Amino acid sequence: MPPLSKTLRFREPSVIPGFGLTFGLTVTWLSVIVLIPLAAMILYASRLGFDQFIAILTAQRTLNALKLSFGIAFAAAIFNVIFGLIVAWALTRYEFPGRRIADAIVDIPFALPTAVAGIALATLYSPQGWIGQFLAPLGIQVTFTPLGILVALIFVGIPFVVRTVQPVLKDLDPELELAAASLGASRWQVIRKVIAPTLLPAILTGFALAFARAVGEYGSVIFIAGNLPNISEIAPLLIVIRLEEFRYADATAIAVIMLFVAFIMLLIINRLQRWTEARS
Amino acid sequence: MKIDVRNLSKRFGNFVALKNVDLDIASGELLALLGPSGSGKTTLLRIIAGLDFADGGEVYFAGENAANLNVRKRHVGFVFQHYALFRHMTVFENVAFGLRVRPRRERKPEHEIVKRVKRLLEFVHIEGLAERYPDQLSGGQRQRVALARALAIEPNVLLLDEPFGALDAKVRKSLRRWLRDLHGELNVTSVLVTHDQEEALEVADRIVVMGNGKIEQVGTPEEIYNEPANSFVFDFIGESVKLPVRIENGGIWIGSRRLATNDELPGTGPARLFVRPHDLTFGEVSEAPLQGAVRAVRRVGALSFADVRLDYGGDDLLVEASLPPETLVRPGDLVGLTPRRYRIYEDGAAESLTSAAL
């Protein structure tokens, strides 16, 4: 008997119907919601001449905004991978009072309007705020600086890492660690050679999601960043500013380049993920 | 290596897993810990390995207290019930793991590791599977990988937790024999946990029967089977038939018929008679101490069994007796049964009052 193929092809009768229907809906849905708006955007940007397009992109303010957006999103995603991993570990491996509540709290950044989060964080971290008052004497200014953006992006990204790593961690049999230890592996060797390789694909997925979310984040950042051009102005905000100035071409040009860079980065992460999965 | 277990105790919450267990494991022997689930056998194995901590008592490795040795330092080869293979590593890398994680100054050079792993894979007959991943192997093959991996570190002692529990009957049988041969070649002290008495009886040099956190009996397979120390062992090992009897006037009474007289029997009171099905002989209805009607006759492989409904004292009791090859009985026939070899245990007491072979 030939093995049952996991992917169905066109015009191949199947006992379980529904492929045509779901495929049709998928294509329609993706087109209406995602592909057509994106195509329209690229079409609009293409009306700009090439020189004009380059001029908008290489303007100092645009470059700084893009650098800030991608750079801080990347840093926040790395931060979230480290701390999200620790949170996921604590939630899956240990039984402690309030574990369920802590588990539920992780999802709050998903649900909370990001503007509310931005305002709350800005209040907390301002030099007079509960946390900011301790940081100010140390010369650390969070609000109205790139550091504030980092704090906001960490906030919105953390559940992505926790929720992608958690199920994999749950499936990771503690007996594997015992087996490794009985073979003479130190704790560090167990983490490096047994736990990390198993978790790596999930970690990369979590990283990609947290990163993508952070690149697109707008609401929470604008309240804490101060939005000083060239210093703490993110690319999505610059797009809004250009729109408000009726410079639609500029706005779409920035949007297109954001789309392009984000697509490339996600593609790379996706490849990395496939590669790590193939090895395990 | 010789292992001594002294006065070991362990509880999990309210559940007592081990109660003051003492056990000497001789160097080079293959010992089976046998018992029903919850008897503490796996807990005992894990404490010996250092995978669990005892609440009280000590384990001595070659006379040295192992309390200060963690699982890393104990140098035990542990084979887990579900193999615990590293899924992201090939078979080769799984087996090489224990050699590669050694501290740098103790680590062998790469070519020696390769040589040793290859030899181990040949030893367990899976040399062709070195580049496969565990997911691509059958259960029996995984078990061999797990064993090769445990042997790679040249362990002082090999500990196997229900090693064949997850395999089908045929594979289990062939692996059992193979393990026996392998132990003969290696001569490494081995402890095997199993709930399968057949496995223990076939493989082990000595068997430790455990029940409710205590050791019930330690002995060779023959001793365990032929001279069960108490009713628990008799009941657990092999098939057994239990019959309520009475002890009165120095005799054993089954209903109104006397089975035997024995002056050493103390007092009067209810007791239980334990007998193996193959120790029940068919005889004349009028003479045999037990009578009943045949309910069904079954063939299991080469053996035949008859379910006999005993009729005595108003209590109906169904016993399974093995039929001698020539005996012909049909359902509905009235037959007599005589226990040839049996043991009598006083109600509530574990120790045997008497045993007899007629």
- Residue B15, pLDDT > 70, answer yes
Q: pLDDT band at B357, cuts 50/70/90?
A: low
* Residue range B64-69: mean pLDDT, rounded: 85
Neighbours of B65 (CB within 10 A): 12
pLDDT for B48: 93
Q: Does B78 touch chain A (CB under 8 A)?
A: yes
Q: Is B47 on the interface with A (CB under 8 A)?
A: no
Q: Which domains does chain A have, with CATH numbers?
A: 35-173+200-279 (1.10.3720.10)
The 10s digit of each residue's pLDDT in B215-239 is: 999 999 999 988 888 888 988 888 8
pLDDT at residue B206, rounded to an integer = 95
Rounded distance, CA B45 to CA B25, Å? 12
**pLDDT at residue B350, as a whole number:** 58
Shortest CB distance from B88 goes to which of A180, A189, A197?
A: A197
Residue B141 is predicted with a pLDDT of 92
Chain B hits for A193, Cβ within 8 Å: 86, 97, 101
Smallest CA–CA distance, residue A248 to chain B, in Å, is 51
CA distance A193 to chain B (A): 9
- Give the whole-angstrom CA distance, residue B107 versus residue B201: 40
| Closest residue of chain A to B88, computed from CA coordinates | A280
Please answer yes or no on whether A175 and B82 come within 8 Å at the CB atom: yes
Give dist(CA B203, CA A156) in Å, integer: 60
Nearest CA in chain A to B95: A183
| pTM to 2 decimal places | 0.76
Cβ distance B78 to A178 less than 8 Å, yes or no, reads: yes
Looking at residue B171, its pLDDT comes to 81
Q: A183, A193, A277, A279: best mutation site toward chain B, by most B Cβ within 10 Å?
A: A183
Q: For B323-345, what is the mean pLDDT?
A: 81
* A37 near B CB under 8 A: no
In whole angstroms, what is the distance from residue A223 CA to residue A125 CA? 12
A182/B74 Cβ within 8 A: yes
CA distance A275 to B349: 65
Q: Is B113 on the interface with A (CB under 8 A)?
A: no
Q: What is the C-alpha to C-alpha distance for residues A190 and A181, in angstroms, rounded to an integer?
A: 7
Task: Write out chain A residues lying below 8 Å of B82, CB-based.
Answer: 173, 175
Q: Is B108 part of the contact surface with chain A (CB cutoff 8 Å)?
A: no
Name the more confident of B349 and B82: B82
How distant is the alpha carbon of residue B235 from its chain centre?
Answer: 13
Please tell me the predicted confidence (pLDDT) of residue B319.
81
pLDDT of residue A238: 92
In chain A, helix, strand, coil percent, each to 5?
75, 0, 25
Q: How far apart are CA A224 and CA A120, in angstroms?
A: 9
| A194 touching chain B per CB within 8 A | yes
Q: Which domains does chain B have, with CATH numbers?
A: 3-227 (3.40.50.300), 241-357 (2.40.50.140)
Judged by CB atoms closer than 8 Å, whether chains meet at A183 and B98 is answered as: yes
> Residues of chain B with pLDDT > 90: what percent?
37
Q: What are residue B345's DSSP bridge partners?
A: B272, B352
Which amino acid belongs to residue B3?
A: I
Q: What does the pLDDT read at residue A139?
A: 86
Number of C-beta neighbours around residue A247 at 10 A: 13
User: Which among B218, B221, B254 is positioned nearest to B238, based on CA atoms?
Assistant: B221
Q: Which 176-205 residues of chain B touch chain A by CB within 8 A?
A: none
Q: Of the candidates A176, A178, A183, which has its C-beta nearest B101's C-beta?
A: A183
Q: Quick one: tokens of B131?
A: 């580049």
Helix axis angle, A196-216 relative to A60-93, nearest 10°?
Answer: 140
Q: Give the C-alpha separation, B59 to B22, whole Å.
A: 9
Looking at residue A13, its pLDDT comes to 67
pLDDT tens track for A143-187: 888 999 999 999 999 999 999 999 999 989 889 999 999 999 999
pLDDT number for residue B352: 63
Q: Do A175 and B149 touch (CB under 8 A)?
A: no
List residues bridging with B351 in a β-sheet: B230
Query: Could you say which DSSP state residue B17 is in?
Result: E
The whole-number average pLDDT for the span B90-111 is: 92
CB atoms within 10 A of CB B244: 15
Asked whether residue B35 carries a pLDDT value surpassing 80, the answer given is yes
| Mutation to test the A interface, candidates B48, B71, B136, most A Cβ within 10 Å | B71
Over residues B254-288, the pLDDT tens digits come to 877 777 777 666 667 788 888 888 888 887 777 78
Taking an 8 Å cut-off on Cβ atoms, the answer to whether B88 and A184 are in contact is no
Of all helices (H) and strands (E), which one includes residue A212? helix A196-216
Contact B149 A183 (CB under 8 A): yes
- At B263 the pLDDT is 65
For β-strands B30-34 and B189-194, DSSP reports them as parallel
CA distance B204 to A234: 72
**Residue A178 in contact with partner chain B when CB distance is under 8 A:** yes
Are the beta carbons of B132 and B162 closer than 8 angstroms? no
B95 touches chain A (CB under 8 A): no
Higher pLDDT, A274 or B214: B214
Closest-CA distance, A82 to chain B, in angstroms, reads 22
Is the CB of residue A189 less than 8 Å away from at least one CB of chain B? Answer: yes
With a CB-CB cutoff of 8 Å, which residues 195-214 of chain A face chain B? 197-198
Quick check: A179 contacting B, CB < 8 Å? yes
Q: Do B77 and A173 touch (CB under 8 A)?
A: no
* C-alpha to C-alpha distance for B183 and B30, rounded to whole angstroms: 7
Measured on CA atoms in the order B82, B85, B87, B90, is the torsion positive or negative? Answer: negative
Tens digit of pLDDT at every position of chain A (280 positions): 455 555 656 666 677 778 888 889 999 999 999 899 888 888 888 888 888 889 988 999 999 999 999 999 999 999 999 999 999 999 998 989 999 999 999 999 988 998 999 999 999 999 888 998 898 888 888 888 899 999 999 999 999 999 999 999 998 988 999 999 999 999 999 999 999 988 988 999 899 999 999 998 999 999 998 888 888 899 999 999 999 999 888 899 999 999 888 888 888 888 888 887 766 5
Suggest the residue from B42, B72, B104 to mutate for an interface test with chain A (most A CBs closer than 10 A).
B72
Q: Residue B246 in contact with residue B240, Cβ under 8 Å?
A: no
Q: Token match 């191949």: residue?
A: A12
Q: Do A184 and B72 touch (CB under 8 A)?
A: yes
Residue B181's H or E segment, with its range, is: helix B169-186
Rounded to 10 degrees, the C-alpha dihedral B35/A181/A99/A205 comes to -120
